[in-house]
Structure 1
Amino acid sequence: MKPIFLSPYFRQKIWGGRKLETLFNYQIPDGKVGEAWIISGYRDDASHVINGEYKGMSLRDLYQQHPEVFGNPTEKEFPLLVKYLDANDNLSVQVHPDDAFAEKVEHDSGKTESWYVLQADPGSYLIYGHHAKTKAELEEMVKNGKWDKLLRKVPVKAGDFFYVPAGTIHALTKGIVVIETQQSSDVTYRLYDYDRVDQKTGKKRELHTEKSLAVTTVPHVDPVLNTAEKQVMDAKITTLVEPPVSPHFYLAKVDLKGKLNFQLKHRYQLFSVVAGNGSLHYDNVNYDLKLGDNFIIPAGIKQFAFEGTMTLITSAPTE
């Protein structure tokens, strides 16, 4: 078994830009590219393996055809999705359903997600939560377009972390780049879109007001994350979120300046290099790592090592 390196899948968005090319040296399509799905097994939008015996396979096919690579999990679909998002303009204000609602209404899983902020222009803010105290107040404010009064704006800077449970009204705004870790789902309910017109259709983009109101948590309460740091050799490892706060994934940041012997504690684990460069050492083989690289340590690899000056975001499903 070897580390599995992946190529991104890119998505154009009305709010996208070109930073994914300049920041990560990705070869992105022309136009407004808002998302790089860097570790994805989601349907036709999957990442592809770029090394080893499974080279050329989609992560979705690899997961389904070779479950032993992932420790023979019970989940039928790859459970996590990791993205880079370049908000060159404001994203629509959204809310996602939980598993129960999504499975019943959309025949898909729910969507809890998280953001680690990589870049933010001065004065940037997120939409994170709302000010309504009751469902009736929420419905009244939405019906009458009281967006400035309803939406909660939170200042943001590079290095900030936000956990976004299903039911949370949220949106990135212009000038922010994040790495997003989420459940593998694309179920999104658009509550407000600044009355923008899609240039391709000449019409305002569809809103999902009724579904949004049905799944929004009222009142909004910020989750208590209990973020913890520990020093291991030459690395500071920061646990960003984990069970029981996060029922779907474990997420951490590794800031390395030197060497780190790593012992896998999960069935398999996802890694993305978000700053710097270095190397991964396993089974007498050195794998060069650079900004923008994404890989999975599969089941069967329990001990390996990192070396260099770099920051990695790592996640694992909670199964």
Structure 2
Amino acid sequence: MMEPLFLQPVFQERIWGGTALKTQFGYDIPSNHTGECWAISAHPNGPSIVKNGPFAGKTLIELWEEQPELFGNHPTKVFPLLTKILDANTDLSVQVHPDDEYANEHENGELGKTECWYIIDCKEGAELIYGHTAKTKEDFARMIEKDEWDQLLRRVKIKPGDFFYVPSGTIHALGEGTLVLETQQSSDTTYRLYDYGRVGQDGKTRELHIDQSIAVATIPHKNADVQEAISKVPGAEITTFVEAEYFTVYKWELDGKATFAQEKPFVLVSVIDGEADMMVAGKFYPIQKGDHFILPAEIEAIELDGRAKLIVSHV
């Protein structure tokens, strides 16, 4: 398999979603409350479908199970990563994710959820919630019970190009007017701690998961400081955002012609701006903003020519 696997995104409607996935990326979204583009997904709640080549029409789940050689015979039972684009048209609920051990025990064998965010765009003065102020679990529970959210939650100003690493156990929420590319473990387990008292279309408030949130939250909060490393190759600048247990994430900023070696079992690529020609094994593939693809194991290198920004990840 000497060609990339281009994938059809899956869209998820959310109470906090909007239309940025259409206006910014040109996607055919299902409604004006579309919150998530599951761009590279082998999760059963929204598996991507291959668009090209001999495996066109197959889901990524099927490929992982039936063609393990495409992924270097990676040993994990399920495809380990999930790439999303999130349109936070309004504030997301404040939430926290469990680690692998807790999720496996309490969520029918689901993976835990460590994730990270690259801020593609945001409104002036946008914020996100990252962490909390409680020093002990007792303080944490007491402040929740008394609705002391302004005192409990840590707010951080953001701007386009910022990157945040969000390990499991971190209290977090995207704020209104934020467009984010998220790289995460392949998990759909979220514990909702606070939702601003919002009601859904059914007129009811959404379920909260207070006990689970208290059980899995990291207390006291620990900042996951990111030490970005920038390197240059002819035609491109590479920013390494994080090299962590579950994933490594980069930004490739292309300004001309550049060659990238493929040294991992498989690599996930999302084009978040611009366009380029990609040459793989002597064949050209045009890529543009909104494209998402996987480079399988047998591809040894790719050549890109153009001006584009790409977010790249691997296990």
TM-score by length of 1: 0.97
Tell me the secondary structure at the aligned position of residue 251 of structure 1. strand
1:135-191 deviation line (CA, Å, top 9, x unaligned):
111111011100000000000010000000000000001100000000000000000
| Correspondence for 1:136 among 135, 138, 141 | 138
Whichever residue aligns with residue 306 of structure 2, its letter is G
Q: Which residue of 2 aligns with 1:222?
A: 223
Correspondence 1:1-319 to 2 at 5 A = 1=1, 2-106=3-107, 107-199=109-201, 201-242=202-243, 246-317=244-315
In 2, Cα distance between the equivalents of 1:152 and 1:187? 22
Tell me how many residue pairs correspond in the alignment. 313
For residue 30 of structure 1, report the CA deviation from its aligned partner.
2.2
Q: Which runs of 5+ in 1 are unaligned?
A: none
In 1, Cα distance between the equivalents of 2:118 and 2:302? 25
Whichever residue aligns with residue 193 of structure 2, its letter is L
In 1, Cα distance between the equivalents of 2:178 and 2:159? 9
For residue 224 of structure 1, report the CA deviation from its aligned partner.
2.8
Counting aligned pairs with the same residue, the percent is 49
For residue 226 of structure 1, report the CA deviation from its aligned partner.
2.0
Tell me the secondary structure at the aligned position of residue 24 of structure 2. helix
1:202-240 deviation line (CA, Å, top 9, x unaligned):
111000000000000011121132210100111110000
For residue 279 of structure 1, report the CA deviation from its aligned partner.
1.3
Runs of 4+ in 1 over 4 A off after TM superposition: none
For residue 255 of structure 1, report the CA deviation from its aligned partner.
0.5
In 1, Cα distance between the equivalents of 2:31 and 2:142? 41
Q: Which runs of 5+ in 2 are unaligned?
A: none
For residue 264 of structure 1, report the CA deviation from its aligned partner.
1.0
1:8-55 deviation line (CA, Å, top 9, x unaligned):
000000000011011111111123100000000001411110000000
Q: Which moved more, 1:21-30 or 1:219-228?
A: 219-228
TM-score by length of 2: 0.98
Tell me the secondary structure at the aligned position of residue 197 of structure 1. coil
Whichever residue aligns with residue 277 of structure 1, its letter is E
Asked if 1 retains the 8 angstrom alpha-carbon contact of 2:165 and 2:225, the reply is no
Tell me the secondary structure at the aligned position of residue 27 of structure 2. coil
Asked if 1 retains the 8 angstrom alpha-carbon contact of 2:127 and 2:175, the reply is yes
For residue 95 of structure 1, report the CA deviation from its aligned partner.
0.2
Tell me the secondary structure at the aligned position of residue 292 of structure 1. coil
Tell me the secondary structure at the aligned position of residue 203 of structure 1. coil
Asked if 1 retains the 8 angstrom alpha-carbon contact of 2:164 and 2:226, the reply is no
Tell me the secondary structure at the aligned position of residue 24 of structure 1. coil
In 1, Cα distance between the equivalents of 2:280 and 2:111? 35
In 2, Cα distance between the equivalents of 1:112 and 1:18? 27
For residue 133 of structure 1, report the CA deviation from its aligned partner.
1.1
1:46-104 deviation line (CA, Å, top 9, x unaligned):
11100000001111111111111111111111100000000011100000000010001
In 2, Cα distance between the equivalents of 1:203 and 1:225? 39
